[in-house]
Amino acid sequence: MLKGLIWGRSSFGSLRNFSMFEKIFDGAGAASGLSKQTSFKVDYAPTSITKWRSSRTGLQVTYINQASPIVNGYFAVATEIHNDSGCPHTLEHLIFMGSKKYPYKGLLDVLGNLAYSSTNAWTGTDQTVYTLTTAGWDGFKMLLPIYLDHVLNPTLTDDACYTEVYHIDGEAKEKGVVFSEMQAIETSSSFLATLASQRALYKKSGYRSETGGLTENLRTLTNDDIRHYHKSMYRPDNLCIILTGSVDEDELISIMEKFDNELPPISTIPQKRPFIESPVDLPPSSSITETVEFPDKDESSGEILLAWIGPDGMDLLMNQAVDVLGEYLTNSSIALLRKAFVEIENPLAVSVEYYTDDFVRTGLNLYFSSVPTEKLADLSQSVLSLLKEHTAPEKFDLVRVRDVLDQMKLKFIYSAEVNPDIFSNIAISEFLYGNVDGSDLPKLAKDLKELDELYNWTAEQWCAALNEYFVENKCAILLGKPSEKLYKTLKKTNKELLKERKEVNGKEGLERLKKRLEQAQKMNDAPIPDEILLKFGQPDPEKIHFNITTSVGAGLNKDVPQDGAHPAYKHIQEDSPKNLPLYFDFERIPSEFLAVNVLLSSTAVPTELLPYLDVMSSIFSLPLVTEDGTEIPFEQVVKQLKKETVSTNMRLSYKSHLDEMVDVEIVVQREKYSNAVDWFYKLFYQTKFDETRIRVYLEKLVKGLPDLKRSGTDMLDSIFARTVFTERSTKKSTDFLFTENFWKEKLSLIENGKYSEIEAELETVRKALFEPSNMRILIVGEVENIKNPVSEWSKFLTLNTSTSLQEIPRSFNFLSDAGLKLEKKAYLIEAPGSESTYLHSVHRIPTDYLHADGPAISLAAAYLQAVEGPFWRGIRGTGLAYGANVYKEPEHGQLVFSIYRGADAQKAFEVAKTIVNDYSSGKTKIDRMSMNGAISSIVNGIANSESNYYTAAYYKFFDDALVKRGPEYNKFLLKNLRKLTEEDLLRVFTKYFVPLFESKTSTVFACVNPAKSSALRQNLEKVHGYEVSVEQLPNAEENGSGSEEDEDDESASDTDTDDDDETDSDSDSNSESESAAKI
């Protein structure tokens, strides 16, 4: 569960040039009072931070200097509201509809598409933040003043409000981008539980409000309400401009001073500071328990949220203390709450997570997922009792809490190296709640002295904090309970509301509504004059400095080019014996840490045993048996592993690519390289498949199924994987619906005393998977400074039974007949817990990464799905779906059109088809400027995918060693993109994209609510000519699945729950375009 609920505006390419900036600001006024408040170097990361504030307007600027090819901007507004109207969220959307200086919808994004940029935004409970991500400084500095003008001076037209917020279309269906977005989530369990906790704990402040807007309130929200809210909150003194990356500081200050001079001075009447000057809610005097029902036909499991109002948000020491306690309670299989309620036979929950809400007083939250419904009330009380019991010092594990402190510190330092969000989040919190003089920023970011101080705390001090904030401090207990009755009631209510809207408006009224929408769309989509666009050039892509790594191969690695002059090469060669039968790839980057990955081919594992790959991820929490026969309990293994590593993961893919690979990763401090190697040996060969531990793992898999079945994206991925791939593929053989009966049968064997059969199968998997000839070892870091980089692995040589290296498994070799043909069929799966529609249409493309058509396919996809591009305007802009994308998967040999959170999937599909056909036929002309913007968005995607040295190293290994498309692939791609003409795009539109929407040459997959199944099925059959099959869940008995009477049901909800264990999931359901940007 994420920290708070955030609504994001999915955006791609956007950036601009600086060539016209000087003209824009000719005649700026006198120099403003932008004065430096603080400047310091961070002690634990290669980062420095400087903050300024304008004495004239109150505008704040924070620059986080961190080497990166990407410049990130976060434009934060503190947004407090005391109702559920959704004004903060609607502004997050309407800001992009034009500014008074630039009154054209999409100007930001059209310019951004030309300048290697992407825009986005989110609305939280206490903030609205607008983001700008740019490859290089030149594009960023061009767009910065234009973007800020949109934030502070938006047009906020009635037409924009009508289409973007809420309207009724000519068929009496409720639409609007914001409305559809909220409709899709507001009946989900996590949304309802979080809102209920806010209502229970916060009686006085805006924290109780649903800033996204409840649908019942969005129906009556007026544009005047939105304008008034903007006037009250979007003031220069309530805005902070935060930047991360490598920028020219002098230019930044010059730009901001010129912009600041155009702003009105700060009001002489004191303005209320949001939240800081509002009434503060104190913890309740007694605990509050509330049952929160959410609609679902599967009533077997729910969830629990326990929420407290914690310490003052600026009490840094106590906030660190409660965070450490939260990790101590939940962060591993030996953590107190997990050990008591999750890591047991017949688990009472599949996962437990701790997260905070960074408010005036910090909100503390414990979330338990997949709790048996009949155990909801009992479990909540058991949790509180256990917390109370452990306030006794003799019960508290002081040694372990210090281990937790050490690991938290290392993880934070590692994250600060690779993730710019670490410091931007600190800067946002400081802006919202810190002193206006900037004095709190160094306290929050300069050092980690609070963690050092906590290391000296006694057990009594820890117990006192636990008692004060989690025991004596009263909480809100929200019991999320599934309700089939509510599911049916909502469906009936939505049908009645639709009927009522038709009756109230009548035929003439609906026709007027249709025309009103067409008029608004026409006004919104007024073309941007060419003379405005032509004022802005494109930044020079040669000025974008990508991260470079140095590769050194050893042993069986003949894939990577060698730099014999680099010190790392000599160091590694001197440590490498001749004829070394192991595969090594060292990627040299500057870092205090080392990431060690062992990549394994799943093809070594017998097909019938592939489902066990899920269980192999439990190796991080199993007992060990040493060479002398000593058994080390799993608790001690987990404790030592956590102590000696920064992180451990096992994934069924390589960085979300190459699905048939198994990637085991250990990140350590550089000086602990030998520990990492030793742990690989122990985990691979000395773990014991203990019956109790394996049983617990299998029970969690089975009990977590109801949550997965409530997720539209997970269900779509399932029907896709089980259809397109063979059982030889991990995509199918580890799919949760495919393996459901497999795991239940294994649990039955355990119940009947036949665990030995399972253990024997697991040993077979171990022997096959961890054979040294099946390993490719990737080591990323300052490799010239590690001792024995190769010889440290000598223990593995004695295990090698083969001198030939296992081939890299390619996904396109594991396609089923249906996956190879991709024609005539449509596969629907019904999910009662997810009422939005999720859809893929798939067509075959070449699997060769260097195929001549590859760059043109990438460009055509980027052209269609650009922000303010054809799909955006035709589908998202009309409220048909929250997202519509197209992307290529050469590893699968597939081109995919995707609908995400479809409100009207049939119409979205038809609009996309019309758009593509119109380009192919020449009815719609291909625009050269839009082509340039699409190229820029691809450049931006590449830069983002390699935004730090680690990701650059991972992609270099992917290019050189795994798919062998060469170390210069980026240059190859960009060179070929720039050669493409309008005729090239026209050719691939006709050859590849038109067939995406033809039944003869494509296959459709969709997850749909039972009430909408019939309408989608009939549309695909009768209109498009597909042969449709519908899969129902075993417990789906409602006749609404396929009944004509339900086809107009408009309700939409979706629950996506991500369980966190010692493994990572590679589910990227709504980020296909980003993850495929380089592919």
What pLDDT shows up at residue 1071? 35
Distance CA 602, CA 585 (A): 20
Confidence of residue 801 (pLDDT cuts 50, 70, 90): low
What tokens does 766 get?
A: 């171990």
Residues 848 and 948 in one domain: yes
pLDDT tens readout for residues 891-938: 999 999 999 999 899 999 999 999 999 999 999 999 999 999 999 999
* pLDDT classification of 1039: cutoffs 50, 70, 90: very low
What global pTM score does this model have? Answer: 0.91
Task: Please tell me the predicted confidence (pLDDT) of residue 930.
Answer: 92
Rounded mean pLDDT, 696-710: 95
Residue 799: predicted pLDDT: 75
Establish if 921 belongs to a structural domain.
yes
**HEC profile for 1002-1058?**
CEEEEEECHHHHHHHHHHHHHHCCCEEEEECCCCCCCCCCCCHHHCCCCCCCCCCCC
Q: Using one digit for the tens of pLDDT, what is the confidence trace for 609-622?
A: 999 999 999 999 99
Q: Which pLDDT score is estimated for 1076?
A: 37
Residue type present at position 969: Y
% of the chain residues with pLDDT over 70: 92
Q: How many domains does the chain have?
A: 4
pLDDT band for position 1079 (50/70/90)? low
CB 222 within 8 A of CB 497: no
Radius of gyration of the chain (CA): 28
Tokens of 1011: 């009430």
> Does 855 fall in a domain?
yes
Lowest mean pLDDT among 9-23, 45-59, 152-166, 884-898: 9-23
- Distances from the Cα of 508 to the Cαs of 175, 500, 504, 516, 1048, in angstroms? 19, 15, 10, 12, 20
Q: Dump pLDDT digits (tens) for 211-247.
A: 999 999 999 999 999 999 999 999 999 999 999 999 9
Both 795 and 845 in one domain: the answer is: no
Could you tell me if residue 45 is inside a domain? yes
CATH for 668: 3.30.830.10
Mean pLDDT of 281-292: 97
Domain final position from 220, 247, 277: 277
Residue 468 has pLDDT above 50, yes or no: yes
Asked if 267 and 299 sit in the same domain, the reply is: no
Report the pLDDT value the prediction gives residue 21, as an integer from 0 to 100. Answer: 27
Specify the pLDDT at position 1070.
Answer: 35
Alpha-carbon separation of residue 100 from 103, 114, 149 (angstroms): 5, 22, 8
Q: How far apart are CA 329 and CA 386, in angstroms?
A: 11
Q: Strands, E, within 463-514: which ranges?
A: 476-483
Least confident of 151-160, 276-285, 533-542, 902-911: 533-542
Residue 340 has pLDDT above 60, yes or no: yes
The structure tokens listed for 814 are 């594991």
In this prediction, residue 997 carries a pLDDT of 98
Helical (H) or strand (E) element with 571 = helix 567-574
Please give the pLDDT value at position 1061: 37
Q: Would you state the pLDDT for residue 115?
A: 87
Sheet with 1027-1031: list strands edge to edge: 881-889, 894-902, 837-844, 1003-1008, 825-830, 1027-1031
795/859 same-domain check: no
Per-residue pLDDT at 697 exceeds 70: yes
363: containing domain: 288-423+434-482
> What pLDDT band is residue 579 in, cutting at 50, 70 and 90?
confident
Other residues' Cβ atoms within 10 Å of the Cβ of residue 394: 7
- Check pLDDT > 60 for residue 1062: no
Same domain, 470 and 578: no
Confidence class for position 797, pLDDT limits 50, 70, 90: confident
Residue 1064 has pLDDT above 80, yes or no: no
Is the pLDDT assigned to residue 10 strictly greater than 50? no
Task: Say whether both 566 and 694 belong to one domain.
Answer: yes
Give bridge partners of residue 77 from the DSSP assignment: 128, 239
What's the whole-number mean pLDDT along residues 111-122? 92
How confident is the model over 359-388, as a mean pLDDT? 97
Question: Which residue has 């192919």 as its token pair?
Answer: 920
Q: What is the pLDDT of residue 1035?
A: 61
| 428 within some domain | no
Beta carbons of 352 and 304 less than 8 angstroms apart: no
CA–CA separation, 144 and 256 (whole Å): 9
In a domain, residue 506? The reply is: no
Last residue of a domain, one of 231, 247, 277: 277
Whether residues 795 and 855 fall in one domain: no
| Mean pLDDT value of segment 513-539 | 88
Strand partners, 76: 129, 240
Q: How do residues 471-517 score in pLDDT, each as one tens digit?
A: 999 999 999 999 999 999 998 998 899 999 999 999 999 999 999 99
Listed residue (705, 728, 699) closest to 718, CA to CA: 705
pLDDT of residue 1028: 97
Last residue of a domain, one of 229, 248, 277: 277
What are the tens digits of pLDDT across the range 839-863? Answer: 999 999 999 999 999 999 999 999 9
Angle separating helix axes 691-703 and 740-751, nearest 10 degrees:
140
pLDDT > 60? residue 19:
no
Q: What value, to the nearest 5°, has the Cα angle with vertex 441 and ends 436 and 445?
A: 165
Question: Are 361 and 447 members of one domain?
Answer: yes
Say if 408 falls within a structural domain: yes
Residue-level pLDDT at 182: 92
**642 shares a domain with 593:** yes
Cα separation, 238 vs 39, in Å, equals 21
Asked, for residue 507, whether it belongs to a domain, the answer is no
Query: Average pLDDT over the chain, rounded to whole?
Result: 90
Distances (CA, A) of 274 to 125, 198, 240, 375, 432: 12, 17, 14, 40, 8
Please determine, for residue 951, whether its predicted confidence score (pLDDT) is greater than 50.
yes
365 in a structural domain: yes
Note the residue count of the chain: 1079
pLDDT at 1053 over 60: no
Residues 837 and 748 grouped into a single domain = no
Whole-number pLDDT of residue 154: 98
Tell me: do 181 and 240 sit in the same domain. yes
Residues 675 and 583 in one domain: yes
Q: Which two tokens mark 238?
A: 């309530």
